[in-house]
Amino acid sequence: MRRLSSLLLVMVLLGGGCAGPSRDVAEVGGVARSETGLASYYGHQYHGRTTANGEIYDENQLTAAHRTLPFGTRVRVTNLANGRQVVLRVNDRGPFVAGRIIDVSFKAAQELDFVVTGVVKARVEVLPGN
């Protein structure tokens, strides 16, 4: 009975139906190789400020903020509404708004064509070599 209780607890903890970003591919080393959720972008007010890795944020560079991916990780972000893609380098932490999986630079938002809406459903894929 104790073994069955322990097994049920593990199943609940691992397979609980929690809402949030979906993971399309198995996690490797605790970092998802692909996830789908909401992307947003940094506004102009952050231009020139220091990022979490010590760089100065430049809204005209192709960079991004992610909560867990290591700095320097290259990711492909796809706007699922129009199929546009861009490759970005993670150099900051965030986003800090519930339900969002990545913040991209203003330049990236332009290339993905979601500056007007500000938020879009996107897929984030870690590129090989990271």
Q: pLDDT at position 2, please? A: 40
Residues 93-117: what's their mean pLDDT?
Answer: 97
Residue 27's closest CA among 14, 9, 40?
14
Q: pLDDT at position 21, please? A: 52
Is residue 31 in a domain?
Answer: yes
Q: What is each CA distance from 5 to 2, 12, 16, in whole angstroms? A: 5, 11, 16
Is residue 81 in a domain?
Answer: yes
Residues 49-63: what's their mean pLDDT?
Answer: 97
Q: pLDDT at position 37, please? A: 97
Across 30-34, 66-70, 95-99, 110-114, least confident range: 30-34
At 9, which helix (H) or strand (E)? helix 2-15
Q: What is the CATH number of the domain that holds 67?
A: 2.40.40.10
**Burial bucket for residue 28 (CB in 10 Å: 0-12, 13-18, 19+):** exposed
Residues 43-58: what's their mean pLDDT?
Answer: 94
Is residue 113 in a domain?
Answer: yes
Q: pLDDT at position 32, please? A: 55
Range of the domain at 25: 21-126
Q: Into how many domains does the chain fold? A: 1
Is residue 69 in a domain?
Answer: yes
